[in-house]
Structure 1
Amino acid sequence: MSVNQLYSANRLSTSCSQCTVLELCLPLGLTIEEAERLDKLIAQRFKVKKGAALYRIGDPLRSLYAVRIGSFKTNVLSIDGREQVTGFQMPGETLGLDAISTDVHNCNAFALEDSEVCPIPFTQLEKLARELPSLQHNLNKILSREIVRDHDMLMMMGNMNAEERLAAFLLNLSQRLSMRGYSSRQFVLKMRREEIASYLGLRLETVCRGLTHLREQSLVVVAKRDVKILSMEGLKQLIAGCNRHLI
């Protein structure tokens, strides 16, 4: 299925300088003129339907994708077809960085809900970044953030038990949503429990049991996909000493 078949053909009018996630995205810190130059690279913003693939393993690198609305997951498949979720992305975050080193994508990216992305042609982005040091700096920060996130994930897998992993995961979502102006204590999980289990390296039943234990400790209440954090400090205390960065 071609990219054009996956997305709507309508141009979205919001520019980089007017975007609601500007402070979390690639144009952060750019002047209005610089942001407009970046905006000109985005020929068309695309809508991605829930469940549709933004790109798949082996697809050539054409663009980086800034998430404007909605959320995504990235994954890889084992030889026997099992899914390994490698990340969850929300507005202001960038997809496609996995392909920079090899010029082909090394994971799949699927929309967890109806979403919108801003595709930035990578070749043109590289050229513009050479002309705008502030843009190159932002691109380097995004790449560095991905490296730190990978390191934190490895640390979590090695140091935390199941309940601690769940606590860190919920705190991470809370923190990221708060940065976007949403409630840090009440939110909706866009991903299924099976996907959470895959991401955290746990079995599905372990995730369900862990959420029950967190509820019994009066830390969180999870009803289907609705999450209510009852004690932020309690969750933080649970993972104290395990890891100093939230994934």
Structure 2
Amino acid sequence: MNKLSAPESKTLLDIPALKASCSEFSLHELCLPRGLDEDEIEHLDIAIGRRRRVLRGDRLFEVGEPFRKLYAIRYGHFKTVHIGASGDEQITGFQMTGELLGLDAISNDEHQCDAVALEDSEVCEIPFDRLQEIIGQLPTLMRHFHRLMGQGITREQNVMLLLGNMRAEQRFAVFLINLSLRYAERGFSPTRFHLRMSREDIANYLSLTIESISRILASFKKQGLVKVDKRDVSLLQIVRLRSLAAGTEPSVSLR
């Protein structure tokens, strides 16, 4: 995507280069949804503001901050954190390259969570008022962003399921399978990936203790389901893991 020096700046687009750039960073499905012609791509490019670097541990936005923009993750990983009335933090999701941040604020015009970078990352800022104007003119783009918003809602619903009646090992299996699917969608290996989040973060997200996460990992390794080297994870029996996530595989021993 071309970086604009100011909202009113105009540039002559090199469409092939634009597509190559977005594809390289796994944003082609977000920024160049199927069905857009070159004029529509140009309209979308104008809606994109500047790129923004976010260093590991820094916040992209915070609870209560006024809603002005959506953020497309160009590269890197984030976690979203809800702060309870007592000050307790609950991680509500992990986001990766090609996904949108900021959808939580659309309903009441302010952010409901903090977005924290898990590693040095970069986002494309999308001013929401300009995006709305363009979406109103491009039905293809409107349908695309409605789909993205629906995916965000679905992910939140899945979190509620995780925190429901699932056994601890089932929650962790769902977590691994979810990452596997999302990495596969971006052209990466569905069975080998690096966890950007800490075990503490995973435990918080799944409402488990760190000790439970360690026991589950040890059990999964003993069962031959996974191989773990620090934060590098290999899913050795993904079919069984899917069955465990779906609740059709008998519970594994945590001893």
TM-score bucket (shorter structure)? 0.7 to 0.9
Q: TM-score, normalised by structure 2?
A: 0.85
The answer as to whether partners of 1:214 and 1:220 remain within 8 angstroms in 2 is: yes
The answer as to whether partners of 1:177 and 1:184 remain within 8 angstroms in 2 is: yes
Number of positions where the alignment pairs a residue of Structure 1 with one of Structure 2? 230
Using the TM superposition, name which of 34-43 and 164-173 deviates more. Answer: 34-43
Paired position in structure 2 for 1:48? 54
Partners of 2:83 and 2:162 in 1: CA distance? 22
Partners of 1:81 and 1:169 in 2: CA distance? 25
Of 105, 123, 129, the residue aligned with 1:123 is 129
**Residue identity matched to 1:27:** L
Q: Deviation digits for residues 160-202 of structure 1, max 9, x if unmatched?
A: 2111111111111111111111111111100011111111111
Partners of 1:179 and 1:146 in 2: CA distance? 15
Matched residue of 2:164: which SS? helix
**Residue identity matched to 1:28:** P
Matched residue of 1:61: which SS? coil
The answer as to whether partners of 2:22 and 2:31 remain within 8 angstroms in 1 is: no
**Residue identity matched to 2:229:** A
**Residue identity matched to 2:117:** A
Over 3 Å counting, the alpha-carbon distance change for 1:46 and 1:176 in structure 2 is same
Paired position in structure 1 for 2:29? 24
Paired position in structure 2 for 1:198? 204
Partners of 2:164 and 2:156 in 1: CA distance? 13
Alignment of 1:1-247 (within 5 A): 15=18, 18-20=21-23, 21-29=26-34, 30-241=36-247
Partners of 2:211 and 2:127 in 1: CA distance? 42
Paired position in structure 2 for 1:6? none
**Residue identity matched to 2:27:** L
**Residue identity matched to 1:166:** F
Partners of 1:159 and 1:78 in 2: CA distance? 22
Over 3 Å counting, the alpha-carbon distance change for 1:124 and 1:16 in structure 2 is farther
Q: Percent identity?
A: 45
**Residue identity matched to 1:57:** V
Kindly report the root-mean-square deviation, in angstroms, between the aligned alpha carbons of the 2 structures.
Answer: 1.8
**Residue identity matched to 1:210:** I
In the TM superposition, residue 16 of structure 1 has moved relative to its aligned partner by 6.3
Q: TM-score, normalised by structure 1?
A: 0.87
**Residue identity matched to 2:128:** F
The answer as to whether partners of 1:26 and 1:139 remain within 8 angstroms in 2 is: no
Over 3 Å counting, the alpha-carbon distance change for 1:176 and 1:75 in structure 2 is same
In the TM superposition, residue 36 of structure 1 has moved relative to its aligned partner by 1.9
Give structure 2 stretches of 5+ with no counterpart: 1-13, 249-255
Partners of 2:200 and 2:206 in 1: CA distance? 10
Partners of 2:126 and 2:246 in 1: CA distance? 39
Matched residue of 1:43: which SS? coil
Paired position in structure 1 for 2:8? none
The answer as to whether partners of 1:74 and 1:88 remain within 8 angstroms in 2 is: yes
Paired position in structure 2 for 1:9? none
**Residue identity matched to 2:29:** L
In the TM superposition, residue 26 of structure 1 has moved relative to its aligned partner by 4.4
Partners of 2:60 and 2:184 in 1: CA distance? 26
Q: Deviation digits for residues 195-247 of structure 1, max 9, x if unmatched?
A: 111111111111111111111111012222111111111211212347xxxxx
Give structure 1 stretches of 5+ with no counterpart: 1-12, 243-247
Over 3 Å counting, the alpha-carbon distance change for 1:37 and 1:16 in structure 2 is farther
Using the TM superposition, name which of 23-32 and 176-185 deviates more. Answer: 23-32
Matched residue of 2:111: which SS? coil
In the TM superposition, residue 155 of structure 1 has moved relative to its aligned partner by 2.3
Matched residue of 1:106: which SS? coil
Partners of 1:239 and 1:56 in 2: CA distance? 32
- If you compute each CA radius of gyration, which structure gives the higher value, 1 or 2? 2
